[in-house]
Amino acid sequence: MAKVKVKFVCSECGTESPKWMGKCPGCGAWNTMMEETETVMKAPVAQSELTRTKEKAKSIIDIDSGKEPRVPTGLGELNRVLGGGLVPGSLLLVGGDPGIGKSTLLLQTSHALTSQGLKVLYVSGEESVRQTKMRADRLGVLSERLYVLCETNLDLVEEAIADVQPDFLVIDSIQTVYRPDVPSAPGSVAQVRECTAQFMRIAKVNGVATVLVGHVTKEGAIAGPRLLEHMVDCVLYFEGERHHSYRLLRAVKNRFGSTNEIGIFEMMEEGLREVTNPSELFLSERPLGVSGSTVAASMEGTRPVLVELQALVAPTHFPSPRRMSSGLDHQRISLVIAVLEKRMGLFLQNQDAYVNVAGGVRLDEPAADLAAAVSLASSFRDMPTKPDDVVFGEVGLTGEVRAVSRAEMRVKEALKLGFKRVILPKASLKGWQPPAGIELVAVSTVAEALRAALE
């Protein structure tokens, strides 16, 4: 006999409680405790043939420590983010805003894998087979080895996997799949947890690289319990501005590679196009001879990227001036403004300051501090910067300019794009030989950088 048990589960973190509470004791979120019923089986449930294994424990000395085999996806930007390609048996989670291009990316990846002779099963729980076919026609990704299934019942999905025996599996999306033996609605914490655990067993036992598409909340995080991100091998976020054609693929967790790499795509009418030279693309619309515009050199993983950093400083009519930033950390901008006021004598207490990274890119490293300082001072003094300058460096609280990593790669990227001069920290010149054809201006303080850039 089965026993029905009622419990309350937080939809944000998965914390369980025997009674309802307004505030989750695990994550502190309000009104997130949802009622669920759990059926406790006294007899053991038979295990699926897809997940049954007879593998025995081995001594760690006897385990082969060779590299994980990689399967190239056919998209260079996706291979960069994954660390070289797909690992057979891995479980990936892809999240992003609605309409950002997740299904388009996975369909193009599926077609590229089928061109290598691999079988792909695309399970769609949100679109019909006809809708998926229409999307494939528009993208031109038709192949006999690409199988499409519209199903949300996990048992029927397992039967299709056993029948097709794919090398690559796509579940779009995990919030629509449900297990019939779990008495909860699709998308609930229990359903997402149990379905993800079952797909993980299928991927590991059968060596099928599996991609789960996850919905995101209004804050941008993947919906469902946090346990979902802990269970998978790789978590990818597909992000971008609705009003920009550029899309960024970023890894926040990767057991088989680095989490510092990003992939850049451009959304076209015929699908996603890889951007192999993002620096040239981000600087294509840069105005010349305008105050507040500076080119900053940033590192995204192993790739140097040059972006335009814009600042606007204008008198305010309010007691408290506004400090707004897009693409940069707001706290870092406040720090840079405080340094300019205290160390440089710029009176910004009655000025609104707006800082923006053109192209919808987000810079997370402190190497953009010096470029932000130069842009703010340029706008405040209404003095344009030199169009052939590139600036990078970290700004300290005492007004010093600190060294940043991989200065040589940043300088070479600036030289490749035709820039004539680079303003960089003096400490970053150690250990490498500057290339010919570009002038390097080494600075130790923000005052030296401003004199070099604005005079």
Most confident by average pLDDT, 34-38, 148-152, 263-267, 274-278: 148-152
Among 36-40, 55-59, 178-182, 390-394, the minimum mean pLDDT is found in 36-40
Adjacency order of strands within the sheet including 16-17: 16-17, 2-10, 33-41
Give mean pLDDT, residues 303-322.
93
Q: Is 95 annotated as a binding residue?
A: no
Phi first, then psi: give them for residue 146, nearest 5 degrees.
-100, 110
Q: Is 97 annotated as a binding residue?
A: yes
End-to-end CA distance of the chain: 84
What is the predicted pLDDT for the residue at 291?
94
What is the predicted pLDDT for the residue at 51?
54
What is the predicted pLDDT for the residue at 196?
93
Separation of alpha carbons 122 and 111, rounded Å: 11
Q: Within 314-399, where are the H helices?
A: 330-344, 369-381
Residue 401 pLDDT level (bands cut at 50, 70, 90) = very high
With 60 as the cut, is the pLDDT of residue 330 above it? yes
* Residue 288 burial (CB count, 10 A): 10
pLDDT above 70 as % of the chain:
92
Separation of alpha carbons 167 and 164, rounded Å: 9
Give mean pLDDT, residues 172-191.
86
H or E element: which one contains 168?
strand 168-172
Residue 37 pLDDT level (bands cut at 50, 70, 90) = confident
Residue 49 pLDDT level (bands cut at 50, 70, 90) = low
Q: Is 319 annotated as a binding residue?
A: no
Among 162-171, 250-259, 289-298, the minimum mean pLDDT is found in 250-259
Q: Is 222 annotated as a binding residue?
A: no
Separation of alpha carbons 339 and 244, rounded Å: 33
Peptide linkage before 173 cis (omega within 30 of 0) = yes
Q: Is 56 annotated as a binding residue?
A: no
Q: What is the pLDDT of residues 99-150, one digit of tens each?
A: 889 999 999 999 999 999 999 999 999 899 999 999 999 999 999 999 999 9
With 60 as the cut, is the pLDDT of residue 41 above it? no
Give the residue among 113, 119, 172 at the shortest CA–CA distance from 147.
119
Q: Is 101 annotated as a binding residue?
A: yes
Residue type, 368: A
What is the predicted pLDDT for the residue at 90?
94
With 90 as the cut, is the pLDDT of residue 158 above it? yes
Q: What is the pLDDT of residues 402-435, one digit of tens each?
A: 999 999 999 999 999 999 999 999 999 988 988 9
What are the E-state strand segments in 316-420? 323-326, 351-357, 389-391, 394-395, 401-402
What is the predicted pLDDT for the residue at 343?
92
What is the predicted pLDDT for the residue at 236?
94
Query: 327's torsion region: left (phi>0), alpha (psi -120 to 50) or beta?
Result: left
pLDDT above 90 as % of the chain:
60
Query: Quick check: 175 and 134 in contact, CB under 8 A?
Result: no
Separation of alpha carbons 400 and 343, rounded Å: 10
Q: Is 133 annotated as a binding residue?
A: no
Q: Is 289 annotated as a binding residue?
A: no
Report the predicted TM-score, pTM, of the whole model to 2 decimal places. 0.76
What is the predicted pLDDT for the residue at 106?
95
Cα torsion at 238, 242, 246, 251 (round to 10°)? -20
Separation of alpha carbons 275 and 260, rounded Å: 17
Q: Within 252-355, where are the H helices?
A: 278-282, 330-344
Give the residue among 201, 199, 202, 205 at the shortest CA–CA distance from 213.
199
Give mean pLDDT, residues 257-270.
87
CA 115 to chain centre: 27
Q: What is the mean pLDDT of the chain?
A: 88
What is the predicted pLDDT for the residue at 75?
92
